[in-house]
Amino acid sequence: MKTIPILLAILLLSGTAHATELTVFSATPFVPVLADIVPGFQARTHDTVKIVRDTSGGIVKRIEKGEAFDLAIAGMPSLESLTAAGKIAAGSATPFAKSGIGMAIAPGAPRPDIATADAFRRTLLDARAIAYSDPAFGGTTGVYLTKLFERLGIADAVKAKAVMVPGGLAAERIVSGQADIALQQMGEVMSVPGTVFLGPLPKELQFFTIFGTGIATASPNAAAVRLLLTDLQGEAATKALAHHGMEKP
């Protein structure tokens, strides 16, 4: 008769009785940050974290289709729309970080000038092939760049040599030889081995996306999510953001 209580006590002491698996829908730029923070969280809590990478637009579509999740990390406009739809708990959508756009090139390639708007424009016109996020898949960078190319008067020229990336890492197209430059969130272009991070867009052309975190209304694991958010708001997370080209909003 004492076997079950004793077993439960052992499980509690081992930290496995209440172990939880959290599903986190994360915009691609933050996957490297999560990779830095999550192992410490898992070791401390014995919970596990399943990371599902997508664009902000892709995350919205997943949630609208009814995919189960506990925490979403996406652009604030996406989180606000999901809050209005009742998918994100009211009051939980909180700005987490801001991320600008940067450029990557191939190792050993000449380093083009992107210090000014005119120099950036010339670099794009001189490029053989330009990889960037396909705006049709809901990535904020792809949507902004499409409008920027129009503003710079080079939309047709860029379109002729564009390598559109449907939700993945644009800089991987440099590694494969499909493109010689890639434009994407700095955390994304900095994370691809076999490429060189050239730098951010010039100040007058830069666009910062504000990303945030939001707890799923239907999550049964809200307490564990809040523990993870504590780690994501700490000093280690601030350092991880800086390491991956981002900063606090």
The pLDDT tens digits for 203-241 are 999 999 899 999 999 999 999 999 999 999 999 999 999
Give residue 235's domain range.
3-98+210-247
Q: Assess if residue 25 is contained within a domain.
A: yes
Q: Cα–Cα distance between 244 and 190 in angstroms, integer?
A: 7
Q: Assess if residue 126 is contained within a domain.
A: yes
> Does 166 have pLDDT greater than 90?
no
Q: Assess if residue 177 is contained within a domain.
A: yes
Do residue 110 and residue 187 come from a single domain?
Answer: yes
CATH number, position 108: 3.40.190.10
Do residue 87 and residue 105 come from a single domain?
Answer: no
Q: Assess if residue 205 is contained within a domain.
A: no
Do residue 179 and residue 56 come from a single domain?
Answer: no
The pTM is what? 0.78
**Residues 6+ away with beta carbon under 8 Å from 174:** 104, 105, 106, 131, 180, 181, 182, 192, 194, 195
3-state secondary structure 9-61: HHHHHHCCCCCCEEEEEEEHHHHHHHHHHHHHHHHHHCCEEEEEEECHHHHHH
Question: What's the domain count of the chain?
Answer: 2
The pLDDT tens digits for 61-120 are 999 999 999 999 999 999 999 999 999 999 999 999 999 999 999 999 999 999 999 999
Specify the pLDDT at position 140: 79
Do residue 44 and residue 120 come from a single domain?
Answer: no
